[in-house]
Structure 1
Amino acid sequence: MSTADTTDNAVRELLLVMPRLVGRVKRLPLPEQLRSLDLAPRHLSMLSLLLLDGPLTVSQLAGMLGVAPTTVSLIVSDLSRKGVLVRREDDADRRRRIIDISPDSRPAIAQWLSPGARAWRHALAPLSPAQQRIFVDTLLRYEAAVSTPTRTAPRRG
């Protein structure tokens, strides 16, 4: 079997599995406490980082999310008003703010996001660190490729 055939088979399999995967993730039940908060994907990413890494500064969150600090500040303000996040002064530098999930919201957010983190750990566990990096890099290249508009060739005929 040629490399092109192998790649086409892998593409075919991924085109079948990706909609199922996205559908299953979308069907994860949102805990009652979070339903009225109108959470968007940008909130999910930030909450995931705070759940996995603990309290972070706005600058750290911005760097990890690949967005401007002002964008993070807006999201933090929104989620702070809703009682999901808390801000406190950094003891080492009073000008900086440390962002964390509020104690009241942490159990609901963990209930919502932990199954996805467990599933990724299970899927990645058999891979070596180098293979895990290849997998993540592949997903990032896929994301970039589907985010970039492509020019279509003019139709003949």
Structure 2
Amino acid sequence: MAERPEDLNLPNAVITRIIKDTLPEGVAVAKEARSAIAKAASVFVLYATSTSNSIAQKNKKKTVSAQDVLNAMKEMEFEKFTGPLEESLEVHKKSQQSKKDEKEAKAKAKKAKETEKGDGAEDEGEKNDGDGEQNDGEKETEEETPMDTAMETETQENGGHL
């Protein structure tokens, strides 16, 4: 919990940027007005958070969800905010999914590249003469575990040292 009431205020730089982005070009806002807006925004955020938390607790949950916040807006009689909030939530979810998909694609590409690199090194070794026995220079191929891959990557990044 915050030790001082000032700890609960939103950062002035954020408030100033929001004001600047919202108002038309050339509109000046007095310092006292910025301070009042910052205080009002902080009170609103605390009220919304408290109401959302109460709703979560009523549902026997310890974590406040997006649905709890949307329900809090209705309970606080700010229904007109629920539409834009739901749209923003949808955009956020899509953005997070895109980031996740992109990360997975990069990981797959990296793994495929490492697999190709590993296959090329094995081809340079001695070949099996077809009698079903393993030549002295051949090694049995083992499936690489994630730990092996992580250690290999760590070794490569540190110039051959773990």
If the TM-score is normalised by the length of the shorter chain, which range does it land in?
A: under 0.3
Give the structure-2-normalised TM-score.
0.23
Higher relative strand content: 1
Give the structure-1-normalised TM-score.
0.24
> Larger relative contact order (C-alpha < 8 A, sep ≥ 6)?
1
